[in-house]
Amino acid sequence: MTWADTLLLLPELIAATGASILLIVPVLGGRARGHMAKWAMLALMAVTALAVIGSTYAVAGVQQTPTFRAMFAVDAFSVFFKLLFVVVIALVTLLSEDFLSEERYSTWEYYSLLAFALCGMMFMASGVSLITIYIGLELLALSSYILAGYYKNHEESTEAAMKYFILGTVSSAILLYGISLIYGVCGSMRLSTIAAALSTMLSNDALMFGIMLLAAGLCFKIAAVPFHVWTPDVYVGAPTPISAFLSTGSKAAAFAVFARVFYVAFPAFHLDWSNVLAAIAALSMIVGNLAAITQTNVKRMLAYSSISHAGYSLLGIIAMNEMGLRGILIYTMVYVFANLGIWATILMLRRHAYAGESVEDFRGLHKRAPFAAFSMVVFLLSLGGIPPTAGFIGKYFLFAAAVQAGFGWLAIVAVVMSAVSMFYYLRLVVAMYLEEGSGAETIYSPSLRFVTALSLTVTLVVGFIPELPIRQVIESSSHLVGRVVQR
């Protein structure tokens, strides 16, 4: 370990240090200045983003720089996700402003926990050893449990946090068990070493079992069926900005891990695990979309829709080809921004802690907030995968990957289900544009407006000029795809 290695760690170090400073400020007398916390947090995000960008220059020309005994790597893949995470956390910070000023909860600790979560996510993106990945994941999960229960005295929030905590711990245990089995067979937790060990094996039941348990643990994090039951309750119960965070940042991090672990470590056993994951993906798409149709609560609907999106993204893992990995990256990005935009609109409609919930709240929104309504339509179309929004580009990659990999049946399920999904997305459009009436009143703060505008810009720009993001994604993922073993 040298100083240069530490420089590579700079983003994580800054996030962790920043989180600690945010904790100390109130003790030093910053308690009364709760509104300063937002700016401090945004500044921290800006510095972290600069550090992430700086770390790319440190590894310019090098494909992958594993440090700390090959446990941590700064590569284009991790940088892509880290930047995405920083942006997500910054946007969630903006989303949280109203919630924090309206409720009576301490702001500094809240942001501190968000920064800890960011730190965990960045470790997940950079981890090239199962142990670093696991600890990063736990750091994220722990912060999320607490944030989900931040409405301490609301029964729903507490229940959500408890449910999330208990199921999350069980899934972590399963994940850990899987890791231990893999370690037992391969003798290492480094992804590259595991891959090398796997390539010499024909088949190994214990290892397959380990891979399956690992996949099950990760499927919990991305909320894929049958590990999805926590999702609706948590999204509804948790404070709305935290639901936004769980459905975007937390999932994106889990997908970063999913992609790296499966693309780097397990390509040799692709034939063995792909069918199981294909079943999970198909179930997620079917159950998620069909369940979403019957929901009248928007948050619940979004929860089920996010389950189905986990199913779509899994296509990229199952396909195990260049297209698939690119698809995961681009779809994650696209999905994150569309979702954040939608959550911003929901927050705008809050009358009290739990508003913006029923579809009726959206009635006649086009009159009260034309810009928000228009953006909402674009976001919903993006989630539905209708061109020329970004969602189409994302889905294009995933569907193409599935077709190319020969999972035609899965691609058919995916396209049919994405058509079905438009049914419930359109319900919101109907409420906003086609039904008159006054739903919930709107409080459209500049922060929310900014989040909406940024998400809208990304969604449209990626939709109309996809070349640039695609190029970026190719660059960010090519070094992982090189390892794919064609069997």
Q: What residues numbered 27-46 form the site for other proteins, per CB under 8 A?
A: 31
Asked if residue 56 binds other proteins (CB under 8 A), the reply is no
Residue corresponding to tokens 């994302």 = 394
Nearest to other proteins of 23, 453 (CB atom): 23
Query: In this structure, are residues 302 and 233 in contact, taking their beta carbons and an 8 Å threshold?
Result: no
Site string for other proteins, 461-480 (x = CB under 8 A): -----xx--xx--x------
Instruction: Output 209 or 450, the one with its CB closest to other proteins.
Output: 209
For residues 227 and 232, give the distance between their C-alpha atoms in angstroms, rounded to a whole number: 12
Q: By CB under 8 A, which span of 20-28, 253-261, 293-301, 328-336 interacts with other proteins?
A: 20-28
Q: Which tokens in the block code for residue 160?
A: 């959500």
Q: Are strands 64-67 and 72-75 parallel, antiparallel or unpaired?
A: antiparallel
d(CA 384, CA 381): 5
Toward other proteins, which CB reaches closer, 19 or 261? 19
106 binds other proteins (CB under 8 A): yes
Alpha-carbon distance of 202 to 268, in angstroms, equals 9
| Selected binder of other proteins within 105, 183, 444, 450 (CB under 8 A) | 105
> At closest approach, how far in Å is the CB of 476 from other proteins?
13
> Does 486 sit near other proteins (CB under 8 A)?
yes
Token pair listed for 119: 């730190």
Site for other proteins in 204-263 (CB under 8 A): 205-206, 208-209
Q: Give least dist CB 23 to other proteins, A.
A: 6
Query: Among all chains, which residue has been given the structure tokens 């905590």?
Result: 165
Q: Contacting other proteins (CB under 8 A), which of 60, 104, 200, 446?
A: 104
**403 is a contact residue toward other proteins (CB under 8 A):** yes
Q: Is the dihedral of CA 136, 172, 239, 34 positive or negative?
A: negative
SS3 of the chain: helix, strand, coil, percent, to 5: 80, 5, 20
Q: Tokens for 66?
A: 């594993």
> How many Å is the Cα radius of gyration of the chain?
21
Nearer to other proteins, 46 or 430 (CB): 430
Q: Is 123 in the site for other proteins (CB under 8 A)?
A: yes
Whole-number minimum distance, CB 8 to other proteins, in Å? 11
Q: How far is CA 169 from the centre of its chain?
A: 19
**Residue 217 or 466 having the CB closest to other proteins:** 466
The residue among 15 and 87 lying less far from other proteins, judged by its C-beta, is: 15
Q: Which DSSP symbol is given to 73?
A: E
Q: Which residue stretch of 201-209, 241-249, 293-301, 445-453 sits at the interface with other proteins (rule: CB under 8 A)?
A: 201-209
Position among 10, 44, 59, 71 found at the interface with other proteins (CB under 8 A): 71
- 449 interacts with other proteins by CB under 8 A: no
What sign does the dihedral 275-281-284-286 (CA atoms) show? negative
Q: At 265, list the tokens.
A: 């470590």
Q: Which of 145, 227, 255, 362 binds other proteins (CB under 8 A)?
A: 145
Cα→Cα distances 316→256, 394, 427, Å: 12, 10, 29
Residue from the set 8, 10, 139, 448 that interacts with other proteins by CB under 8 A: 139
What is the spatial distance between Cα 302 and Cα 382, in angstroms, rounded to a whole number? Answer: 14
Which of 155-163, 275-283, 287-295, 335-343 is the region at the interface with other proteins (rule: CB under 8 A)? Answer: 155-163
Closer to other proteins by CB, 94 or 213: give it. 213
d(CA 105, CA 316): 40
Least CB distance to other proteins at residue 110 (A): 9
Instruction: Pick between residue 43 and residue 166 the one whose CB is nearest to other proteins.
Output: 166
360 binds other proteins (CB under 8 A): no
Q: How far is the CB of 317 from other proteins (least distance, A)?
A: 15
d(CA 121, CA 374): 32
Asked, as a colleague might, if the bond just before 370 is cis with ω within 30 of 0, I would say no
Residue 140 vs 218, nearer CB to other proteins: 140
Written as one string, the DSSP assignment of 35-97 is THHHHHHHHHHHHHHHHHHHHHHHTTT-SEEEETTTTEEEEHHHHHHHHHHHHHHHHHHHHHH
What lies within 8 Å, CB to CB, of 204 at 6+ separation is 185
- Main-chain phi, psi angles of 238, to 5 degrees: -65, 160
Give the containing element (helix H, strand E) for 169: helix 155-186
Distance CA 408, CA 35 (A): 53
The minimum distance between CB 131 and other proteins, in angstroms, equals 5
Q: Which of 102, 296, 437, 438 binds other proteins (CB under 8 A)?
A: 102
Closest CB to other proteins among 354 and 450? 354
409 to 438: interface string for other proteins, x by CB under 8 A = --xx--xx-xxx-xx--x---x--xx----
Count interface residues toward other proteins (CB under 8 A): 93
Among 112, 284, 345, 455, binds other proteins (CB under 8 A): 112
Site for other proteins in 321-340 (CB under 8 A): none
DSSP state of 361: G
Report the site for other proteins in 362-401 (rule: CB under 8 A): 381, 384-388, 392, 396, 399-400
Binding of residue 75 to other proteins (CB under 8 A): no
Nearer to other proteins, 60 or 436 (CB): 436
Question: Which residues 6+ apart lie within 8 Å of 22 measured at CB?
Answer: 37, 40, 41, 44, 108, 109, 111, 112, 115
